[in-house]
Structure 1
Amino acid sequence: MPRATSQKFSRVHQSAPKKGAHNPSSSGGSGSSSSQITNPIFNTARFGQHILKNAQTCQRCAEANLKPTDKVMEVGPGTGNLTIKILEKAKHVTAIEMDPRMAAEVIKRVQGSPAQRKLDVVIGDFVKVEPLPYFEVCISNTPYQISSPLVFKLLSHRPLFRVAILMFQREFASRLVARPGTALWSRLSANVQLYAKVDNIINVSRNDFRPPPQVESSVIRMVPIDPPPPVKFEEFDGMNRIIFSRPNKTVRGNFQAKGVMKMLEQNRKTWMATREMPIDDNSSTSELVDKVLTDAGYMESRAAKMDIDDLLKLLSAFHDIGIHFS
């Protein structure tokens, strides 16, 4: 059984089950029937997993934007209920699973079937897998603890994928699709929507999982903007980290928070020194920030109501006078 992140279960994986290991046929599964929804008993607490068991929900996730020519990367296949549905629709699936027992279960479910040739399984933590396999579509029933890292790893991946169908806890999903001026519009919303179009596909009941989680879930569709905007993420996020710290407070008020001006002053000096530019000490960083906010018209604005265009305009104005955020 593979141990390193970069290793794979191959299509011809034939490891014999250990004594006392779970037999999928004893709980309703079959190695030769890939269309069944099986739910073998695993202790899923170790990796925070909740196995999607509702066949209709699996079908809806698998059908969302899939083409017969697609190469799919699935994150966290669990016991393979959703994987089987994806294999019926796509050309190839690479499933990345952290739990070796579940990876073995997925392989067993397709052995001896036509789907066997269409599936590879990688054992490892998705966040640490390098390089990622080539994929056009990503589908994931995402553990809560890697929700944000997964989103930003996908958005930074090249070449760009066509679409991602991602299941998250509903609160997190709602923040991803939130719009400016709504209660959930946040730094996360802005950072993601700078690089992708995001919308909600379906809401999923906690009873569709085994064991049921404490919260409801939602499936979102994320389509990367192609070509991506020529904006350095660290700069955009650095500014947002300041102004979204208290989104209903004025932008100027957030820039006056303890330590912010000192950090910006140091960044400005470093940036100008690397370009061998003279540092103008006639104006303090605080005065320069106020000038930018006044000239750009955002002195009394609040991040909670600023859209992507507002944020990009403000970032550009700061850059024009040598103020950077990373």
Structure 2
Amino acid sequence: MPKDRIKKKSRQHGAAASQGIQFKTDLGQHILKNPLVVNGLIEKAGLRSTDTLLEIGPGTGNMTVKLLEKVKKVIACEVDPRLVAELKKRVQGMPYASKLQVIIGDVLKADLPYFDVCVANLPYQISSPFIFKLLLHRPFFRCAVLMFQREFAQRLVAQPGDKLYCRLSINTQLLARVDHLMKVGKNNFRPPPKVESSVVRIEPKNPSPPINFQEWDGLVRIAFVRKNKTLSACFGSKSVLELIEKNYRIHCSFNEVMLEENFDMKTKIQEILNENDFSKKRARSMDIDDFLKLLQVFNSNGVHFA
């Protein structure tokens, strides 16, 4: 091995040793070490001096110390008490130290505080639940700049017809504008993860679409379980029909609608799909407007998904 590579490797080990921290990769602890990438993330967030910023997974504070210079307040949420101690030690005595508030705990279990902007190098295993916790958070925030596993980021921005287009894609795009900002190689982290990463910017739609999101998600979930099959096939399975019929009978009971003696849920669903030209459509190629129309058609016929 060349001498310069040996020196470089020993410096990296020395830096980790000086911090005295063994990173827990099972918790997704991959610390972003490249200052150029850190600066890029901060720049893309479009921060203002009056902002309250939420940072998820601050680690040892490589990004936090730079954020503190630019905003009114940083609320850092970290699950590992060892990293919290390291972060507090790092900012102690800095002129901006009073701007930092630390929340110790699992961000998925905590109530999110008020914030204007969110910046996060997320543990990849919490990516999906965190996205929806964020998008359903009120009051509205201005934007979020988030680091994800690259394939997850590609799913967020996938369009109808794309191979990675899925329930995550359409649910996220219903509630927000999503843009892919940049790719980040695994060597920008310590320790390097096994996958490549990407950064996305999310801006929630304000106001959000005037629909019941639980009901929307119930419909989309059924359609995307087998996104390559026709809607006629998706809504013809026994388990789906049992769920829809249960909801339909509750709807009829509340609205004092009498069911015919020979009522058949499967026949009703297929009639709705056929009459509105949805029978042969497939989720993989349907956009938000298609699903909004389908939900309206079902609801107007008393069929609900939540």
Instruction: Tell whether the structures are fold-level matches, with TM greater than 0.5.
Output: yes
**Per the alignment, in what secondary structure is the counterpart of residue 63 of structure 2?**
helix
1:73 maps onto 2:54 in alignment: yes
User: Residue 17 of structure 1 corresponds to which residue in structure 2?
Assistant: none
1:1-326 aligned at under 5 Å gives the runs 41-64=21-44, 65-130=46-111, 132-281=112-261, 283-326=263-306
**Per the alignment, in what secondary structure is the counterpart of residue 138 of structure 1?**
strand
**Per the alignment, in what secondary structure is the counterpart of residue 114 of structure 1?**
coil
Deviations 1:8-64 (A, max 9, x none): xxxxxxxxxxxxxxxxxx9669xxxxxxxx966323235221111111101111111
Aligned 8 A contact 1:39 1:53 in 2 = no
**CA distance in structure 1 between the partners assigned to 2:188 and 2:249 by the alignment:** 55
**Per the alignment, in what secondary structure is the counterpart of residue 246 of structure 2?**
helix
Deviations 1:160-207 (A, max 9, x none): 111011111011111011111111110111111111110101111000
**CA distance in structure 2 between the partners assigned to 1:208 and 1:263 by the alignment:** 47
**CA distance in structure 1 between the partners assigned to 2:216 and 2:93 by the alignment:** 50
The percentage of aligned residue pairs carrying the same residue is 50
**CA distance in structure 2 between the partners assigned to 1:27 and 1:102 by the alignment:** 18
**CA distance in structure 1 between the partners assigned to 2:47 and 2:262 by the alignment:** 59
**Per the alignment, in what secondary structure is the counterpart of residue 244 of structure 1?**
helix
**CA distance in structure 1 between the partners assigned to 2:208 and 2:79 by the alignment:** 30
**CA distance in structure 2 between the partners assigned to 1:27 and 1:91 by the alignment:** 34
Number of positions where the alignment pairs a residue of Structure 1 with one of Structure 2: 292
Aligned 8 A contact 1:63 1:89 in 2 = no
User: Structure 2 unaligned runs (5+)?
Assistant: 1-12
Worse-matched range after superposition: 216-225 or 109-118: 109-118
**CA distance in structure 1 between the partners assigned to 2:19 and 2:89 by the alignment:** 13
**CA distance in structure 2 between the partners assigned to 1:181 and 1:39 by the alignment:** 48
**Matched letter for residue 256 of structure 1:** G
For normalisation by structure 2, the TM-score amounts to: 0.91
Worse-matched range after superposition: 213-222 or 248-257: 248-257
**CA distance in structure 2 between the partners assigned to 1:262 and 1:193 by the alignment:** 29
**Structure with greater proportional helix content:** 2
TM-superposed deviation, 1:282: 5.6
TM-superposed deviation, 1:260: 1.2
CA-based RMSD of the aligned residues comes to: 1.8
**CA distance in structure 2 between the partners assigned to 1:291 and 1:324 by the alignment:** 16
Deviations 1:66-118 (A, max 9, x none): 12211100111111111122222222100000000101111111111111011
Relative distance call for 1:227 and 1:216 in structure 2 (3 A) is same
Aligned 8 A contact 2:23 2:30 in 1 = no
**CA distance in structure 2 between the partners assigned to 1:238 and 1:227 by the alignment:** 21
Aligned 8 A contact 1:27 1:40 in 2 = no
**CA distance in structure 2 between the partners assigned to 1:293 and 1:311 by the alignment:** 12
